[in-house]
Structures are given as C-alpha cells and as structure tokens.
Chain A
Amino acid sequence: MPVFFFLIFFYIFIFQKKFLWLREQWIYNEYYEFAPFYIVAVILFFLIKLYKIKPNPIFYNKTSRPVSVFFISIPLILISSFYIHISWKNNYNYFFFIETIFLFISLSIIFINKKYFSVVILFFLSMIPVIPAPFLLKVQVDDIIDPAAAELLKRNIKFMSIAIYIIVAIVLLIFTILVIHRKNSEKKSKIKKILIEKYSEIINNYLYENSDIDETAKKLGDINYPVFLMTVDKILDLIKGEFENKIIELSKNAGVYNFLITESKNKKWWKKVKSVYHLGRLKYEEGIKNGFFEELLESNSEDVKLAAITALSYIDNEKSIYMISKMLFDTSGAAKEKAKESIIKFGKKSYQTIIRILENEKKSDNIALLLNLISHIKDDNFINKIDFYLNHSDNKIICAAIDIAASLEYPVDYSLLSKLLQSNDICLLKTVLKNIPYIADFKIIGLIKNKMEDKDWDIRYFAASSLYKLGDKGRDMLHYTINNSKDKYAVEMAKMVIDELR
C-alpha cells in the first residue's frame, strides 16, 4: 500500500505542470463541474468492486504473485496506440496526461493481485468521461472567481483559523489538566498513605495501650477529616463492641461529628451522602432523636435516602430498625431494596418490628414482602403464626409462608401439602415442590412422583430433585421411574437429577 500511494505522489510531482493544465480544465470548464463527484462515486464503486472480488478487507497483505508480461502488455499497447494517435494530432499535453495515467495504472498493477485487474481496467474506462478532451478547450470560460464566493472563502478560512486556535487550546488544556491531575493524585495518595499510617498508629495506641482520649485527640493534631474518616471506616470493619465505642468517643472528641453535620448540609449531594454515611458508621444516635435522619429519609434525592438507610443500618437499634422498616414501602425501588437488605442484615433483631408491621398490614403484596424477609431472618418464634399464612387464600402469601417453613424446617401438614400439590398455580406448585425436602418427609413421595410426568420442565425438575433429597426412598423412586416409566421426559429428568446431585 505505501508503494501504491508513493507512486501517486511521485507522478503528481513529476507531471505537476500537466496536472495544472488538467486542473484548469476541471475548474473553469462548465462541462466538468460534476467531475469530482463522478470521480468520488467511481472510486467508491471501484473500492466496493475490488472488495467483492475477494470478500476480505483490501490492502492487507503484500501480494507475492510474479508480474507476468500480460499485466503490463495491455496498458503498454494502449499507451502506444494513444501515443501514435496524439503525436499525430500534435497535442502533447494531452499525451502526457494519458501516458501518466497509463503508466501509473500499469505500474500499480504490479502491486495489486491479478484478480483485481479487470476492475482496474474498468476503473480506467469509467474515468474517460472526465478526461478533458482537446476539443473542449474551445468552450473554456474566463479565469474569473466570483467575488461573493471569494469573500465567503475568506470568511470560512478565518473561521477555520479561529477553530484551529480553539482546538489547540482545548487539546493543551485537557492534556495539562490530565497530567496535573495525575501528578496531584499521586502526590495526594502519598500524603493520604502517610496520614492513614499516622492515624492508624495513634488509634492503635489509644485502643490497645489505653492512651488518654484527650491526649490522643491532641496527638491527632490538625485533623484531615476525610482521611481520618477513611481510616476509621477501615478499622470499624475489623472491630466491634468496646473498641468500636471507644473509637466513636474519640471521633466525638476530635470534632468529627461537627464536621460531618456541617458537611451533611452541603448542597453537593456526594458530600452530603458521604457525611451521612460516616455519621451512621459513627453511630450518630442523636440524629434519630432530633429528626435528622427522618428528614433525610423524606428527601427527594434517592442517593440521600439510600445513604440515610445505610447510616441507620449501622446505628442498629430498635428505633433505626423501625425507621428502615417504614422504607420497605417507599416509592423509590432502590430505597425499598436497600431497606430489605438492611433488615436482612439486622437478622433476628428486626423480627419483632417486622411482626408488628405485618400484623397491621392489609395489602397482600406487602404481606408477602414481609414474609419473605422473615424467611431470611429465620426466627423460630414465627412457627406459632405460620399455619395462619399457610392456609391463607392468597397464593403469593402461601408461597412466602412455604419459604419460611422451609427455612425453619417446619413440617407442614400432609393434607395441606396434598391440597397445595393439586393447585393449578404453577408458581405455587414450583415453590412447594422446591421446598418439599425441608417441610415434609418420605411419606410425601407418593404425592410428588406423578409430578415427574408434568408437562412443565421446572415442575418435573423440582419434583425429581426433591425426590433425590428425600433420601433413599426418594432415590429408589427415581430409579423406579428410570426403569419403569413410559414417559421419556420423566426418565430423562430422573437420570439428569441423579447425575447432577450425586
């Protein structure tokens, strides 16, 4: 490819004057007004045609094909014939141009595969209409540029030069910011590292060598609060109990609360969110009493709501659990999910709060949601209430109750299971079958073996895997199905489940 382009430039350079003559024809002759568009179209067509011959990108590999006489002979014959013809007419300009084109094509063919030859010839033939013919010289128009066009061109060039200055400035600006930012962040991270080491050492001494709190606060000196909070955050991930309380005390003493409360009023959401998060980590219980967190939970910003829930989940007391529980029915989906996540994190601590809400809840979707949380909490006290939900009229609630029964390994009444297994609700059936090994014993085998022949793949799968999990008798039933069932899908499923769960 480089040779290909080198040839073009070489010939343009050698035959500059002839090209200038040609150029004049194209510029000032009305007949050639469409010449550039025609040439562009032909080049595009030529590229596509070349590509279609070999449906791989063009200009990839150097071709190693030896140059045969045939390749060069045809252009040479054409050149010779034109030479004789044009010499006879005494029009040398025209001759030079034609010769240049032919020479260029014939030489470039050396670097192009043989199969492209026909396309190259076609390209040349297509170019004939835009090769200025001698007779058209007579209709050449005057060498005058339209003043309006000249003025427009001037303006455009001025506009472009301004654009160039702007672009150079922007490139330099971005590049400078990029380098400065990188240098600064490297510098900052070095300082941060040193500060984290310093704070960690001071906090360690305070925790393990019982240093005095005021003295420790003094040692911290002029605190870099963001770095200090980062250090504390890491330490709090590792310690709990008394040490945690000591750190909170130290933070209070070092003025961290004041800093965070001020920051939480910042208009920039990320600063607000970060400070709220840290207030939670440092168990800012005052915030629950004075309505600080309540206000945040009612914020229009989802980010602020999420930060408040996260903070409350760290505070971890009855009031914070209740405040988070209220968010389970929030309009924001993300807040709802965060609240669910936090309740699950609280575990059994949140049980009473959830039960209180559950008892007053009427909407079946909300009841199912609360039951779903209880299945994660796994509190045995719910066993007293489970039958009520297992016998509920709403299938969604029954499903959630079955999940709880399974998580608590509570044996569900045989007759109820038998009734549930007759249901036409696929979701309910799947839930029951999936959980059977945890809520029933092998006596249920008789009821679920038929489900192996169900038309729904999931039902067959859950029935088979439950049989497997029900112990030897269940596995015997699977083997019995393999040997005796006429339903090929049941046999296939039994085999697959044995293989999968083995």
Chain B
Amino acid sequence: MTEFFNIFILYYFIVLNTAYTGMMIISLVGVIGYVRRLRLVNFKDYFKYKIIPPVSVIAPAYNEELTVAESVKSLLMLQYPEYELIIVNDGSKDRTLEVLIENFDLHISNKAVKLQIAHKPIKNLYRSKMYNNLIVIDKENGRKADALNAGINCSKYNHFCSIDADSILEKDSILRSMRPFIENPDRMMAVGGIVRIANGCDIKAGEVTNIRLPNSALPMFQVIEYFRAFLAGRIAFDVLNCLLIISGAFGVFRKDIVLKCGGYAHNTVGEDMELVVKIHKYCLENKIPYKIAFTPDPVCWTEAPDTTTILGRQRGRWQRGTMETLFKYKNMIFNPKYKIVGMFGFPFFLFFEMMGPVVELTGYIYAVVGLITGHININFAIMFFIVAYGWGVILSILSVFIEELSFKKYPKLGDILKIVYYSFLENLGYRQLTLVWRLQGIVDYFSNVQSWGEMTRSGFNKK
C-alpha cells in the first residue's frame, strides 16, 4: 500500500510537471512565431481604411465607487474607430452610480432593450451628455454573468468586449484583440487578451504610464503566476486549438454565437470559462468551423489582491468555477466527438487543474506524516523535495523567459532579477497556500456554496 501510494504520487508529479514543461515549450515556440508575425501588422491601416468592425465594450461594475470614474475615463480614450461603452451597475450598494452620474453628466434615457437573453430587471438606462458612446445600465443585482447578459442585450454591435470595470485597458488593446477577427472573420468566435498586474505601476488618468513591479510579496507572486497562466498556459492551448478559458477581465466575443449559446450562465461563478466551453460545444456539435484564440499583445491591467483574505477568496472562486464547468460538461471528457477539446483540453483541466490541488496537498501532508511515522526515507524525501522545488522554479523562470523573448514589459534588468528571485521564493509557502485555497474551492463546490465573496479594491489612485 505504502509503495503503491509513493509510486502514485511520484508518477503524478512527473506527469504533471512534464505536461506543464511541454506546454511551456509549445508556448515558447508559439510566442516567438506570434511576435514575428505581429511585426508585419500595420494597425494604422485598420484606422485609416475603417476595415475593422465596431465593438460594444461591456463593463459590469459592483461596488466600484473608488475606481469606476478613473476606469471609465480610461475606457473612453481607447484607440478604436467605432465603439460604444456600456457600464452595467449591477445593483451596487455603494455610490458607484452616483459617481458615474456626477462625472459623466448622465441623464435617464428611454430604454428599448432587445430581450435576447434573460437577466434581472433593468431599473434605468442612462446616456451621457458629454460622451455619445457612453451608456450606463442600472439594474438589480444578479452577479457578473447577469450584468454581462444585460449589457449584451443593450449592445448595438456584433462584437462585444467584456471587461472588469476596475481594470485598465491599454489604449490599443481592443484594436489588437480585434485583429484575429479581421484576419479570420468567418471562423473567429472569441479572442482573449493578456491580463497583467498593475500593482506598483504608475497610473495617471486611467493609463499605465510607468510599468513597475509590485512592492509587496503577494502581488509579486501573482505576477509570476500570471506569466505562467497567460504566457505559457493560454498560448499553448491556443496553439493546440483547445483554449478553454478567456479571462473575464478581458475578452472579445462574437455576439451572434454567444446569443446562440444562450449568453453567460447565471448559475456559476466561472461564467467566463463556461461560455468558452459552451461555444466549443455548440460549434463542434453543429459542425461549424471555428477558432477561439488567445492574443498576448492586447494588455489589460488589473489590481491584484494584496491580502491573503481576498486572494484566498478569489482562488477558491476560480477553482469552484473550473469545477462547475468541468462537471456541467462532463460528457465532453474523452469524447472524440469534441476533438482535441474533449480529448486533451478537458482531461488536462480535470487531471491537473481540478485534481492537482488535492493530490499535491495530500502529497505534502503525506510527506510530513510519512517522515514522522517513518514510512518515507528522509534522504529520499529531501531529494524529492529539492527536485519538486527545482522543477517548479524552472517552470517559473521559463515563463519569465517567454516574457523576455516576447514583450519585455518590464524594462530594467533589475526587474527581471527581482522576478527570478521571487520565482525561488514562490515555491516555498505561497504555492502551498494557494493549494489550500483551491482545496477550499473544491469543498465549496461539493457543499454547493454559491457566494462570490467580497472583493475589496484599494483603488488605483491610492498612491
């Protein structure tokens, strides 16, 4: 029994890390090709010849009074030929709506909402006297998915971009994320952009003016995690054509296909993943040629949680969202009908993303208990720990390497060294802590907990 368990943990560890290393290598190759192709794209032409479709930018806001005005100002300055900005106040309990009314001279407008997908009732629809393209929807609270559905119903254009109201988009990010739609208009269903950590950066008038690393450890660890998730994971899934997540903080979708899929699901906290999986399912079942892409150049800056309480809730929620989607579409797992999505994407998430925290945490506890009870040889355990730690560090540094070869957002050598230094620290405590949070997400899923948990922001202007 002991031997069997030891071998299971060892093999799981080897398979998991080999899979991640493989994904890293695919990403490395993918990102180099991507950057080389990108150099030949002339974004100015998109503007000049108006060959780019208009977009509705939808930003749900819930209790965002601290950041909403700044974010909306930044969103109104996007470099894009034609777009409307829809802010959905999802029944905020604070002064979000009042702040918007005061800052943008809003007046109540008549609403004739196109009811295509269900959502909680809209109380009022506001238009700005200062900005023609700004619409604010004030509705009853129904969570993010509900707010996005209301925004979709009120949107004019066939492409919409869903973002978090507390995030900051780089000026050309929508232009860049629409590029795949121009190059492949018939097949492209959704495009995700990269989310980066804004903590530590200088932000003026809703724009990141000086890119710097966070000053505290917790956001620093998240910088590395985001590198791994976006620059390694998502690029590889994109290359393999089985991208299962487009971050809720920033993604562009084709409205007609989203409507056919029934919009965002209300009964999940992982509505972003659920929608993407639903699009995969719909297109594959109806034999529609399609592509869901990830583009690493359009950047969305977000404020990372800097306390363990909020970070823990966020990670628990992400884990719960992943589990909800995986279980909801369990018939896709190892189903050849769903091609690479069913045969690789889903199993990968099931075995590594969903089961990972359980196996890894069990492994850690077992290692401690096994050492105490004498069932694990201490020399072997120490060596195994060093290998596991080292492999984790390799994966982190590789993701920094991908960033270095591609976008080099952090200009100083000191920044890179600091990230590498934190890559060494990350595997000594932080990683184990995230495992506990993710395990809690799993418990929540099985306990049927539906809460989002409070997400407190300090606000970008606190400096």
Given known contacts A39-B369, A40-B369, A57 and B183 CB-to-CB distance under 8 angstroms? no
Given known contacts A160-B383, A174-B397, A492-B111, A39 and B373 CB-to-CB distance under 8 angstroms? yes
Given known contacts A58-B436, A333-B187, A495-B110, A273 and B40 CB-to-CB distance under 8 angstroms? yes
A71 within 8 A of B: no
Question: Are the C-beta atoms of B397 and A36 separated by less than 8 Å?
Answer: no
B430 within 8 A of A: no
- Which residues in A have their C-beta under 8 angstroms from that of B5? 37
- Which residues in A have their C-beta under 8 angstroms from that of B444? 55
Question: Are the C-beta atoms of A493 and B404 separated by less than 8 Å?
Answer: no
A409 within 8 A of B: no
Question: Are the C-beta atoms of A164 and B377 separated by less than 8 Å?
Answer: no
Question: Are the C-beta atoms of B387 and A23 separated by less than 8 Å?
Answer: no
- Which residues in B have their C-beta under 8 angstroms from that of A298? none
- Which residues in A have their C-beta under 8 angstroms from that of B366? 36-37, 40
Question: Are the C-beta atoms of A33 and B380 separated by less than 8 Å?
Answer: no
- Which residues in B have their C-beta under 8 angstroms from that of A277? 40
- Which residues in A have their C-beta under 8 angstroms from that of B111? 492, 496
B185 within 8 A of A: yes
How far is it, in angstroms, between the C-alpha of A60 and the C-alpha of B313 when the chains are bound?
11
Find residues 302-336 in chain A having any chain B CB closer than 8 Å to their own CB.
Answer: 303, 306-307, 310, 333-334
Find residues 463-502 in chain A having any chain B CB closer than 8 Å to their own CB.
Answer: 489, 492-493, 495-496, 498-500
Query: Of the candidates A12, A48, A182, which one forms a contact with B413 in the assembled complex, judged by CB atoms under 8 Å apart?
Result: A182
- Which residues in A have their C-beta under 8 angstroms from that of B36? 270, 273-274
Question: Are the C-beta atoms of B394 and A171 separated by less than 8 Å?
Answer: yes
Shortest B410–chain A CB gap in Å is: 10
Query: Of the candidates B1, B184, B369, B449, which one forms a contact with A334 in the assembled complex, judged by CB atoms under 8 Å apart?
Result: B184
A392 within 8 A of B: no
Shortest A479–chain B CB gap in Å is: 13
Question: Are the C-beta atoms of A153 and B377 separated by less than 8 Å?
Answer: yes
Shortest B406–chain A CB gap in Å is: 12
Query: Of the candidates B37, B309, B361, B447, which one forms a contact with A52 in the assembled complex, judged by CB atoms under 8 Å apart?
Result: B447
- Which residues in A have their C-beta under 8 angstroms from that of B405? 181
B400 within 8 A of A: yes
Question: Are the C-beta atoms of B373 and A36 separated by less than 8 Å?
Answer: yes
Shortest A309–chain B CB gap in Å is: 11
- Which residues in B have their C-beta under 8 angstroms from that of A458? 114
Interface stretch, picked from A190-198, A285-293, A337-345, A350-358, is A337-345
Q: How many A-B residue pairs have CB under 8 A?
A: 186
Question: Are the C-beta atoms of A182 and B184 separated by less than 8 Å?
Answer: no
B45 within 8 A of A: yes
Shortest B308–chain A CB gap in Å is: 6
A84 within 8 A of B: no
- Interface readout for B288-328 with A: 1 if CB under 8 Å, 0 if not? 00000000000000000000110011001000000000000
Shortest B290–chain A CB gap in Å is: 12
Interface of A is mostly: helix
Given known contacts A175-B420, A182-B404, A270-B36, A341 and B379 CB-to-CB distance under 8 angstroms? no
Question: Are the C-beta atoms of A56 and B375 separated by less than 8 Å?
Answer: no
- Which residues in A have their C-beta under 8 angstroms from that of B369? 36, 39-40, 43
Question: Are the C-beta atoms of B365 and A43 separated by less than 8 Å?
Answer: yes
Shortest B181–chain A CB gap in Å is: 10
Query: Of the candidates B109, B387, B416, which one forms a contact with A499 in the assembled complex, judged by CB atoms under 8 Å apart?
Result: B109
Query: Of the candidates A57, A186, A334, A499, which one forms a contact with B440 in the assembled complex, judged by CB atoms under 8 Å apart?
Result: A57
How far is it, in angstroms, between the C-alpha of A44 and the C-alpha of B183 when the chains are bound?
50
- Which residues in A have their C-beta under 8 angstroms from that of B182? 337, 341
Nearest residue in B to A495 (C-beta to C-beta)?
B110
Nearest residue in A to B188 (C-beta to C-beta)?
A333
Shortest B310–chain A CB gap in Å is: 10
How far is it, in angstroms, between the C-alpha of A19 and the C-alpha of B308 when the chains are bound?
34
Query: Of the candidates A60, A157, A178, which one forms a contact with B420 in the assembled complex, judged by CB atoms under 8 Å apart?
Result: A178
Question: Are the C-beta atoms of A500 and B109 separated by less than 8 Å?
Answer: yes
How far is it, in angstroms, between the C-alpha of A27 and the C-alpha of B371 when the chains are bound?
10
Question: Are the C-beta atoms of A167 and B387 separated by less than 8 Å?
Answer: yes
Question: Are the C-beta atoms of A47 and B436 separated by less than 8 Å?
Answer: yes
Query: Of the candidates B365, B373, B440, which one forms a contact with A27 in the assembled complex, judged by CB atoms under 8 Å apart?
Result: B373
- Which residues in B have their C-beta under 8 angstroms from that of A52? 443, 447
Nearest residue in B to A337 (C-beta to C-beta)?
B183
- Which residues in B have their C-beta under 8 angstroms from that of A122? none
Question: Are the C-beta atoms of A310 and B312 separated by less than 8 Å?
Answer: no
- Interface readout for B407-419 with A: 1 if CB under 8 Å, 0 if not? 0100001001100
Question: Are the C-beta atoms of A36 and B370 separated by less than 8 Å?
Answer: yes
- Which residues in B have their C-beta under 8 angstroms from that of A58? 436, 440
Question: Are the C-beta atoms of B51 and A341 separated by less than 8 Å?
Answer: yes
Shortest B419–chain A CB gap in Å is: 10
Given known contacts A178-B401, A492-B112, A57 and B413 CB-to-CB distance under 8 angstroms? no
B22 within 8 A of A: no
Question: Are the C-beta atoms of B383 and A161 separated by less than 8 Å?
Answer: yes
How far is it, in angstroms, between the C-alpha of A135 and the C-alpha of B79 when the chains are bound?
80
Question: Are the C-beta atoms of A23 and B439 separated by less than 8 Å?
Answer: no
- Which residues in B have their C-beta under 8 angstroms from that of A499? 109-110, 127
A83 within 8 A of B: no
- Interface readout for A342-375 with B: 1 if CB under 8 Å, 0 if not? 0011000000000000000000000000000000
B437 within 8 A of A: yes
- Interface readout for A23-35 with B: 1 if CB under 8 Å, 0 if not? 1101100001111
Question: Are the C-beta atoms of A338 and B40 separated by less than 8 Å?
Answer: no
Question: Are the C-beta atoms of B362 and A40 separated by less than 8 Å?
Answer: yes
Given known contacts A153-B380, A493-B112, A33 and B1 CB-to-CB distance under 8 angstroms? yes
How far is it, in angstroms, between the C-alpha of A156 and the C-alpha of B36 when the chains are bound?
44
- Interface readout for B376-403 with A: 1 if CB under 8 Å, 0 if not? 0101100110110011011001101100
With A179-B417, A337-B184, A492-B112 given, can you name 10 additional A-B contacts, CB distance below 8 Å?
Answer: A48-B443, A57-B440, A163-B387, A181-B404, A333-B187, A337-B183, A376-B51, A458-B114, A492-B111, A496-B109
A-B contact pairs, 15 of them (CB 8 A): A26-B374, A34-B1, A40-B362, A48-B443, A59-B436, A157-B379, A167-B390, A170-B394, A178-B400, A179-B416, A182-B416, A185-B408, A270-B36, A333-B185, A500-B109
User: Which residues of B pack against A, CB within 8 Å?
Assistant: 1-3, 5, 33, 36-37, 39-40, 45, 49, 51, 109-112, 114-115, 127, 182-187, 308-309, 312-313, 316, 361-362, 365-366, 369-370, 372-375, 377, 379-380, 383-384, 386-387, 390-391, 393-394, 397-398, 400-401, 404-405, 408, 413, 416-417, 420, 436-437, 439-440, 443-444, 447, 449, 451, 453
User: Which residues of A pack against B, CB within 8 Å?
Assistant: 12, 19, 23-24, 26-27, 32-37, 39-40, 43-44, 47-48, 51-52, 55-61, 149, 153, 156-157, 160-161, 163-164, 167-168, 170-171, 174-175, 177-179, 181-183, 185-186, 270, 273-274, 277, 303, 306-307, 310, 333-334, 337-338, 340-341, 344-345, 376, 457-458, 460-461, 489, 492-493, 495-496, 498-500
